[in-house]
């Protein structure tokens, strides 16, 4: 294996290199005229459909109760019918591991979710199903508590190192440490085997909904909140915005793996960071993140590369299992990446680094994730689409707009389908217009499909507040504008997004090739504002 610290050399296996779209093929010319004029709107319906972006709505976290029952089925039906009448394409919902497999290993009970999907089918709504291997509760917006299966927690009672651990020894029970991905600690199964078995049972029990085109997306949960990241900023442990968070690699399994990696590098004396501060520190108050701090030393670079590479490998392995389960099905695989926008303007990007995104001005921490996804034909789902820089606290050094542009541009450059969602519930025109801008960064194309167009947008989330008269009126405008002023289209082929059988994952991409994507590239040019505001 190549040294983490050594300069990466070109891969000697050209067949393993994913197809990366040349910049000149994707990068649109900067518009010479502000695109807000009504003269820019497409008149030909067929051409306009190629600008269509489907809209999904996230269902409540507890739509299926801990007792495995749909909560208030009739009330839900009424709300879903309103969504359908508003032109919404479908919904996204968590499928909680802690509900389905709560009674014991491989004792799956899909009753509540079969009932839910039947209701959604009757309401003519498509489904994006999240394989939620994490706990609900402890994160922003969590209103219900659904732990991971009790029998898994029981194993953690005698072996707490199955959980992510911070430097002080606090255990986070939201999601199993990636250090146990391949350790048979769960009644002779590894964590990855448990995830695969769950997905296999889902496929078997939901086959009719997949065959009918009701379930069209499987978003594979890869960490806390279902996101590919470490649980570096848990509210349950006292984190508050804009704290830098803490590294989460101090369980015995990840400690062992780091020691092995450091020894192989020739530095057996290197240890995990002990100077990176605590959850609510600022970067400059720590030795690790301050200017000319540890993060810029060889030791710091080695650790950050190892930490982020572990996350890449974790996502790659579980996606490969998911692909094997669903190959041949007419659906998309997807993962979610978190929009950690605070401290983005600082040279250290501290909050991103503790979460596992080794992203600096001189190093792209997201495009390697996109390159990894490319071999699995997976969709990249990113958050915080609604946020504007000037709305953020100056103290937090946030830059959500730049972050979104960086991540989406990297995904498109790697040839991915890119989707997104808002991070916080919003009901105002400013938020909707920002989401419209990010969905089509250069507006609608008069003659063909835009070079930059999101694969889909998910609105967070279904609630009584959304259906308040004023709120729902503007939401319906938002859906219509996402649809390029066209009516709802049940067949994605109409807007050049045909649902095709999932192909088998390509060959594993060597880590050296994934890390070639860390080379920074300028993001594509975004318009100043959307051309069809609500």
| Phi, psi for residue 150 in degrees, rounded to 5 | -55, -35
How far apart are the C-alpha atoms of 431 and 141, rounded to whole Å?
A: 18
In this structure, the number of other CB atoms found within 10 A of the CB of residue 22 comes to 8
How far apart are the C-alpha atoms of 370 and 225, rounded to whole Å?
A: 19
- DSSP letters, 69-116, are -BTTHHHHHHHHHHHHHTT--EEEEEEEHHHHT-SSTT----HHHHHH
> How would residue 432 be classed by pLDDT, with cut points 50, 70 and 90?
very high
Helix (H) or strand (E) holding 43: none
pLDDT exceeds 70 at position 306: yes
Helix (H) or strand (E) holding 382: strand 378-382
Give me the mean pLDDT over the 195-219 stretch. 98
Q: Which stretch of 30-44, 352-366, 423-437 has the lowest confidence by average pLDDT?
A: 30-44
Buried b (16+ CB within 10 A) or exposed e, 187-206: eebbbbebbbbbbbbbbebb
Closest CA to 60 of 141, 138, 140: 141
Is 341 a known ligand-binding residue? yes
What confidence score (pLDDT) does residue 490 get?
Answer: 96
| Phi, psi for residue 34 in degrees, rounded to 5 | -55, 135
421 is catalytic: yes
Pairing of strands 163-165, 332-337: unpaired
Largest CA distance in the chain: 67
8 Å CB contact between 114 and 208? no
Is 89 a known ligand-binding residue? no
pLDDT exceeds 80 at position 72: yes
> How would residue 141 be classed by pLDDT, with cut points 50, 70 and 90?
low
> How would residue 139 be classed by pLDDT, with cut points 50, 70 and 90?
low
Closest CA to 57 of 111, 120, 113, 144: 120
pTM: 0.92
From the candidates 346, 414, 421, 516, which is the catalytic residue? Answer: 421
In this structure, the number of other CB atoms found within 10 A of the CB of residue 333 comes to 22
Return the residue matching tokens 């146990």. 180
Is 33 a known ligand-binding residue? no
pLDDT exceeds 90 at position 282: yes
DSSP 8-state symbol, 236: G
Return the residue matching tokens 């986070």. 172
Cα(first)–Cα(last) distance of the chain, in Å?
53
Is 51 a known ligand-binding residue? no
Is 389 a known ligand-binding residue? no
Q: Which domains does the chain have, with CATH numbers?
A: 47-236+311-518 (3.20.20.80)
The angle subtended at Cα 112 by Cα 110 and Cα 115, nearest 5°, is 105
pLDDT digits (tens, 9 = 90+) for 470-505: 999 999 999 999 999 999 999 999 999 999 999 999
The angle subtended at Cα 195 by Cα 189 and Cα 199, nearest 5°, is 125
From the candidates 219, 227, 321, 516, which is the catalytic residue? Answer: 227
The angle subtended at Cα 190 by Cα 186 and Cα 196, nearest 5°, is 110
Give me the mean pLDDT over the 72-91 stretch. 98
Task: Read off the tokens for 390.
Answer: 């000037």
How far apart are the C-alpha atoms of 149 and 135, rounded to whole Å?
A: 9
pLDDT digits (tens, 9 = 90+) for 246-266: 999 999 999 999 999 999 999
Is 134 a known ligand-binding residue? yes
- Local structure of 375: helix, strand or coil: coil
What confidence score (pLDDT) does residue 482 get?
Answer: 98
Closest CA to 139 of 382, 423, 407, 457: 423
| Phi, psi for residue 128 in degrees, rounded to 5 | -105, 110
Residue 266: CB partners within 8 Å, gap ≥ 6?
A: none
Query: Residue 125 burial (CB < 10 Å; 0-12/13-18/19+)?
Result: buried
Return the residue matching tokens 């998309």. 332
| Phi, psi for residue 197 in degrees, rounded to 5 | -60, -40
pLDDT exceeds 90 at position 44: no
What confidence score (pLDDT) does residue 73 get?
Answer: 97
pLDDT exceeds 50 at position 166: yes
Return the residue matching tokens 């790697």. 414
What confidence score (pLDDT) does residue 446 get?
Answer: 85
pLDDT exceeds 90 at position 34: no
Give me the mean pLDDT over the 417-445 stretch. 98
8 Å CB contact between 385 and 456? no
8 Å CB contact between 175 and 164? yes
Buried b (16+ CB within 10 A) or exposed e, 80-101: bebbbebbbbbbbbbbbbbbbb
Pairing of strands 171-176, 163-165: antiparallel
Is 94 a known ligand-binding residue? yes
């Amino acid at each position: 294996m190549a040294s983490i610290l050594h300069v990466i050399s070109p891969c000697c296996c050209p067949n393993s290199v994913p197809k990366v779209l040349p910049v000149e093929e994707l990068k649109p010319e900067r518009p010479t005229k502000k695109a807000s004029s009504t003269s820019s709107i497409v008149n030909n319906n067929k051409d306009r459909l190629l600008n269509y972006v489907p809209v999904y709505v996230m269902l409540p976290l507890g739509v299926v109760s801990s007792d495995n029952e749909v909560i208030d089925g009739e009330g839900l039906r009424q709300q879903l019918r309103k969504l359908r009448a508003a032109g919404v394409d479908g919904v996204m919902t968590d499928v909680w591991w802690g509900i389905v497999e709560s009674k014991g290993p491989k004792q799956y009970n899909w009753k509540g979710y079969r009932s839910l999907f039947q209701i959604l089918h009757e309401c003519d709504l498509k489904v994006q199903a999240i394989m939620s291997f994490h706990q609900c509760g402890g994160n922003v917006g969590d209103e219900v508590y659904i732990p991971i299966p009790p029998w898994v927690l029981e194993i953690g009672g005698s072996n707490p190192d199955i959980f992510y651990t911070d430097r002080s020894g606090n255990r986070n029970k939201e999601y199993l440490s990636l250090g146990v991905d391949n350790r048979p600690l769960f009644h002779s199964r590894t964590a990855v085997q448990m995830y695969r078995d769950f997905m296999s049972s889902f496929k078997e029990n939901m086959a009719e909904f997949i065959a009918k085109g009701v379930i069209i997306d499987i978003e594979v949960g890869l960490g806390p909140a279902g996101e590919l990241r470490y649980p570096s900023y848990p509210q349950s442990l006292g984190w508050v915005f804009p704290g830098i968070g803490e590294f989460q690699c101090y369980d015995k399994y990840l400690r062992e793996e780091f020691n092995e990696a450091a020894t192989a590098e020739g530095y057996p004396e290197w240890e995990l960071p002990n100077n990176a501060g605590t959850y609510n520190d600022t970067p400059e108050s720590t030795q690790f993140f301050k200017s000319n701090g540890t993060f810029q030393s060889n030791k710091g670079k080695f650790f950050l590369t190892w930490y982020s590479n572990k996350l890449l490998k974790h996502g790659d392995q579980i996606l490969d299992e998911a692909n094997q389960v669903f190959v041949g099905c007419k659906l998309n695989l997807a993962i979610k990446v978190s929009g950690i926008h605070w401290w983005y303007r600082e040279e250290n990007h501290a909050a991103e680094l503790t979460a596992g995104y080794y992203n600096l001005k001189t190093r792209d921490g997201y495009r390697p994730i996109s390159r990894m996804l490319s071999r699995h034909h997976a969709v990249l789902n990113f958050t915080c689409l609604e946020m504007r820089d000037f709305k953020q606290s100056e103290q937090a050094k946030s830059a959500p707009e730049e972050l979104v542009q960086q991540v989406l541009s990297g995904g498109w450059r790697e040839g991915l389908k890119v989707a997104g969602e808002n991070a916080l519930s919003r009901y105002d025109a400013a938020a909707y217009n920002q989401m419209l801008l990010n969905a089509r960064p250069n507006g609608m194309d008069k003659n063909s499909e835009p070079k930059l167009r999101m694969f889909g947008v998910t609105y967070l989330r279904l609630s009584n507040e959304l259906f308040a008269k004023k709120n729902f009126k503007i939401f319906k405008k938002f859906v219509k504008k996402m649809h390029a002023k066209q009516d709802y289209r049940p067949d994605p082929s109409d807007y050049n997004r045909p649902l095709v059988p999932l192909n088998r994952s390509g060959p594993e991409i060597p880590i050296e090739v994934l890390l070639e994507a860390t080379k920074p590239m300028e993001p594509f040019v975004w318009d100043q504002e959307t051309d069809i505001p609500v």
